[in-house]
Amino acid sequence: MFFHSYCAAIQGIDAHVISVEVDICDGLPMFSLVGLLSSETKEAKDRVRISVRNSGYRIPTKHITVNLSPADIRKEGTAFDFAIAVALLAAIGRIPQKCLEHAMFIGELSLNGSVKGVNGVLPMVYAAKKRQMKYCFVAKENAMEAAMVEGIEIKGIENLKEIVEYFTTGKRIDSAHIPSFAEQKEEKREDFSEVSGQEMMKRALEIAVCGMHNILMIGPPGAGKTMLAKRIPSIMPELTFEESLEISKIYSISGLLGEKQSYIKQRPFRSPHHSIPSTSLIGGGHRIKPGEVCLADGGVLFLDELPEFNTNTIDMLRQPLEEHQVVISRIHGSYTFPAKFMMVAAMNPCKCGFYPDRNRCNCSEQQVRKYLNKVSRPLLDRIDLSVEALEVTYKELVRKEKAESSAEIRNRIKRARKIQEERYAAETIKYNGQLTAKQVEKYCSLAKKEERIMEQVFETMELSARGYHKILKVARTIADLDGSEQILEPHLSEAVCYRGFDKKYWGEKAWI
């Protein structure tokens, strides 16, 4: 006789529904598990057999075959234990098969029969919902996380006995619920008003967030670069449900969701240490895991001490920065992870950190240049804004009046983003930071007077074509923040001050 139940296998950030089939027939007593399984999945055999027995159900000494179908998808992880056990219980007549038709079972089994939580529950439940299943049984600790998906009943299960009783004696198990997304309030966190002074940096960050431009902050140690970077998510518009679901899926797979935080309500802020290897930054590994760029999806990837990062590692950011996703290819197929992050980098101007204050910095011109040259040129090409941080003066530190709060800045940004979204409704892009050279010509046209200014700037500052386009893009964002349809002179001159880090940054030809 043939019995089956459902589970799901993770692929990238999505899950594929897997049918677990069990057959018991006469023959040599044996328990075989097939269906392209990784070693930890194969071990389910012993866990299931013993946990079913320890729950008080005898397994007949017959030939038992379990198939995880479709058999051409590679299955990894221990989430299949529960579904196998349930199908087996159906096969030995403990659970009626008809109960298993519209339900998914996700969880790992312990030898004493209890159900334990696994990573990646959210995408699996989401796959179940898309298959129009009605119930999803998960470990109790995963219940809150799974409950983010609406329109499917989530039941948190403690052990195998409970599920058998639920199906046979009608034992009540409450469905897990969380407040709906709209009702949830964003937790209060660090605010821009806590940073005194640094008006120019704050303004630059506002512009960067508004147009989703990547930004570089240069300044001496202790100028507040990290402090400000940490507060960037607080001025980004709130997450929508779709964004939150996407980010939560990534965190679910990475095992970063727990009872406390059942889904991601705030934009992520990731700040990997500069010793990070490329697989942790981009993602990958033997058992494919999303990297820091994916964990920063929808939020901020902060690279502190940019020159200290390994150049090869940093250069890997080029593709995700352009395509806003990461594709990891393996022999079994390729996996796509979203990576729509904003990159914020910070660095010192020289080794000691005080250049150009010659009273404190005694680095020679070559040393300064050498330090700057450590930063990958192709990465710099993808940074639109750069801003210098100065040390905070005592006057600024003790200033009484409170600085602008994040909420005020966020409102301005939301307004300007709306303008951008309307403007690019017909395009594939959404923000000014994503404009291509051709689109810059179309959307950032200048009037005669402004054109003359740019001509002058181009000559005196020896800009490159790329640098010129970056200034226009940033000026477009500043104009949007201002609510102006045309890019005007003040917008341009402000954009010029934030112009990117280019050849002449600290005066490449020292003596000219």
Partner 1 sequence: MDLIQKELEFWLASLPAIGAAKAIQLLEKLETEEAIFKASAEELLKVPKITEGDAEQIVRNRNIEIIKQKYEKMCQQGNRIVSIHDKEYPEKLKTIASYPYALFLRGNLPDEKKVSFAIVGARNCTSYGKEMAKWFARELSNTGIQIISGMAYGIDSYAHCGAMQGDADTFAVLGCGIDICYPRENFELYTYMSNKGGIISEYGPGVPGRAFQFPMRNRIISGLCDGILVVEAREKSGSLITAELALEQGKDIFAVPGRIGDPLSVGSLNLIKEGAVPVLTPTDIIENFHINRIAESKRKNVASACLTAKEQVVYDCISLEEKHISIILEESRLLMSDTMSLLLKLEAKGMIRQNIKNYYTRSIL
What residue ranges bind partner 1 (CB under 8 A)? 198-200, 203, 356, 358-359, 361-366, 386, 388, 390, 453, 456-457, 460-461, 489-491, 493-494, 496-497, 499, 501, 504-507, 509-512
- SS3 at position 297: coil
Nearer to partner 1, 233 or 467 (CB): 467
Nearest distance from C-beta of residue 508 to partner 1, angstroms: 9
Report which residue type is found at 409.
Answer: I
Nearer to partner 1, 367 or 405 (CB): 367
Nearer to partner 1, 184 or 393 (CB): 393
CA angle 146-67-162, nearest 5°?
45
Nearer to partner 1, 267 or 491 (CB): 491
Greatest CA span in the chain, whole angstroms?
A: 91
Nearer to partner 1, 207 or 245 (CB): 207
Nearer to partner 1, 275 or 484 (CB): 484
Q: Please confirm whether the linkage preceding 233 is cis (ω < 30° from 0).
A: no
**What tokens were used for 78?**
């221990």
Nearer to partner 1, 143 or 475 (CB): 475
Nearest distance from C-beta of residue 356 to partner 1, angstroms: 5
Nearer to partner 1, 68 or 379 (CB): 379
Nearest distance from C-beta of residue 438 to partner 1, angstroms: 27
Nearer to partner 1, 175 or 456 (CB): 456
Nearer to partner 1, 150 or 357 (CB): 357
Segment holding 478, helix H or strand E: helix 465-482
Nearest distance from C-beta of residue 384 to partner 1, angstroms: 14
Helices 448-460 and 489-497: crossing angle in degrees, nearest 10, is 20
Q: Residue 87 and residue 96: Cα distance in Å, rounded?
A: 10
Q: Residue 384 and residue 258: Cα distance in Å, rounded?
A: 37
Q: 493: which residues sit within 8 A by CB, 6+ positions away?
A: 453
Q: How far apart are the first and last CA of the chain?
A: 88
Q: Which among 239, 228, 212 has a CA at the least distance from the CA of 417?
A: 212
CA angle 81-86-88, nearest 5°?
95
In 10 A of CB 180, how many CB atoms? 10
Nearest distance from C-beta of residue 221 to partner 1, angstroms: 16
- SS3 at position 368: helix
Nearest distance from C-beta of residue 491 to partner 1, angstroms: 8
Segment holding 216, helix H or strand E: strand 215-218
Nearest distance from C-beta of residue 346 to partner 1, angstroms: 16
Nearest distance from C-beta of residue 506 to partner 1, angstroms: 6
Q: Residue 203 and residue 126: Cα distance in Å, rounded?
A: 40
Q: Which among 369, 347, 349, 345 has a CA at the least distance from the CA of 360?
A: 349
Partnered with residue 333 across adjacent β-strands are 330
Q: Residue 88 and residue 218: Cα distance in Å, rounded?
A: 62
Nearest distance from C-beta of residue 488 to partner 1, angstroms: 10
Q: Residue 182 and residue 305: Cα distance in Å, rounded?
A: 38
Nearer to partner 1, 258 or 356 (CB): 356
Give the pairing of strands 215-218 and 385-388. Answer: parallel
Nearest distance from C-beta of residue 284 to partner 1, angstroms: 37
